[in-house]
Amino acid sequence: MATPHSELLTLRDLLRWSISRFRAAGLHFGHGSDNAWDEAAYLLLHGLHLPLDTLEPFLDARLLERERQRCIDLIQQRIITRKPAAYLTGEAWLQGRRFLVDERVIVPRSPIAELLSQALSPWVAEPESVSRVMDLCTGSGCLAILAALAFESAQVDAADISEDALEVARSNIALHGLEHRVHALRSDGFDQVPAGTGYDVILCNPPYVNTQSMAALPPEYRHEPRLALAGGADGMDLVRRIVHDAPRHLAPEGLLVLEIGHERTHFEAAFPQLDPVWVETEATTDQIMLLQREQLEP
């Protein structure tokens, strides 16, 4: 007797079926892909152990029964659990780099990564002169690792309040062979960081989602650690501490790179005296700002 999915003979068949199922289920995308096609292709290629950037040559390849079932199970798990795809595969990709992830950390997706691919040019004129970098609220450690790759002479501190997150970060540091330059550090904000460290660059993707937005998050985001998302009534609870404390930890010409998502209005209300540089990336226009130490000092 034919199985319910026995007519899905090729990868093309399975891809079309997966997209239809995703759309019918009303899934939310935003953890590495923004549409049903890309997410289905990623999950199917992962399930078949095929290169993630090579779909076309395999579209008309017929599948073994066990391969088909493995892929169907993965697609159905995405629908039933509403977990982001990265939690199902145990990995996420950012700027072409692979990072290990699970539900102890948010899924890597910060647009700061795009800026690091250009070594923060033109705001950092000489990348080789950068000797100390901090990635505050590091989570999986992805930005700390990308910073170490961008600034090859730098020692990088990857700080987070969550020991669970730091365990994931250490795994990723080891995965990329950077134990000698990237150091996991447990700290509540800057509280456990010695003053006067003199970082040339501080990166930070803090929890910034305001209370109203937290209540409206799609199920996919509710699988991520609340500690890494919730920023209080206006989203600025931790941001206020960072802006206040950062000058004591920056070098004289140091730079703070701060992501605040869709909270620009709340940021400007909280800090009317600040005039940051708002940086555009491929996907954002007003979610990342740059602030020099002299701007942050009282």
Of 39, 56, 89, the last residue of a domain is 89
Of 60, 89, 118, the last residue of a domain is 89
Show the domain range for 226. Answer: 104-296
Q: Is the dihedral of CA 39, 44, 45, 49 positive or negative?
A: positive
How would residue 32 be classed by pLDDT, with cut points 50, 70 and 90? confident
Asked whether residue 130 falls in the same domain as residue 81, the answer is no
For residue 183, what pLDDT is reported?
97
For residue 1, what pLDDT is reported?
38
Residues 133-174 have pLDDT tens digits of 999 999 999 999 999 999 999 999 999 999 999 999 999 999
Indicate whether 2 belongs to any domain. Answer: no
Closest CA to 223 of 140, 138, 105: 105
Q: Are strands 277-279 and 288-292 parallel, antiparallel or unpaired?
A: antiparallel
Asked whether residue 74 falls in the same domain as residue 139, the answer is no
For residue 4, what pLDDT is reported?
61
Residues 201-259 have pLDDT tens digits of 999 999 999 999 999 999 999 999 999 999 999 999 999 999 999 999 999 999 999 99
C-beta separation of 140 from 94 below 8 A: no
Q: Give 136's strand partners.
A: 159, 204
Distance in angstroms between the alpha carbons of the first and the last residue of the chain: 76
Cα–Cα distance for residue pair 85/65, rounded to 1 Å: 23
CATH number of the domain enclosing 24: 1.10.8
Asked whether residue 58 falls in the same domain as residue 204, the answer is no
Indicate whether 4 belongs to any domain. Answer: no
Of 89, 122, 149, the last residue of a domain is 89
Tokens of 238: 């931790």
Contacts with 35 (C-beta within 8 Å, 6 or more apart), sequence order = 29
Cα–Cα distance for residue pair 181/88, rounded to 1 Å: 30
Whether residue 2 has pLDDT greater than 50:
no
Report residue 230: phi and psi, to 5°. Answer: -75, 125
Q: Tell me the percentage of the chain whose pLDDT exceeds 90.
A: 93
Asked whether residue 275 falls in the same domain as residue 168, the answer is yes
Indicate whether 78 belongs to any domain. Answer: yes
Q: What's the structural domain count of the chain? A: 2
Asked whether residue 118 falls in the same domain as residue 53, the answer is no
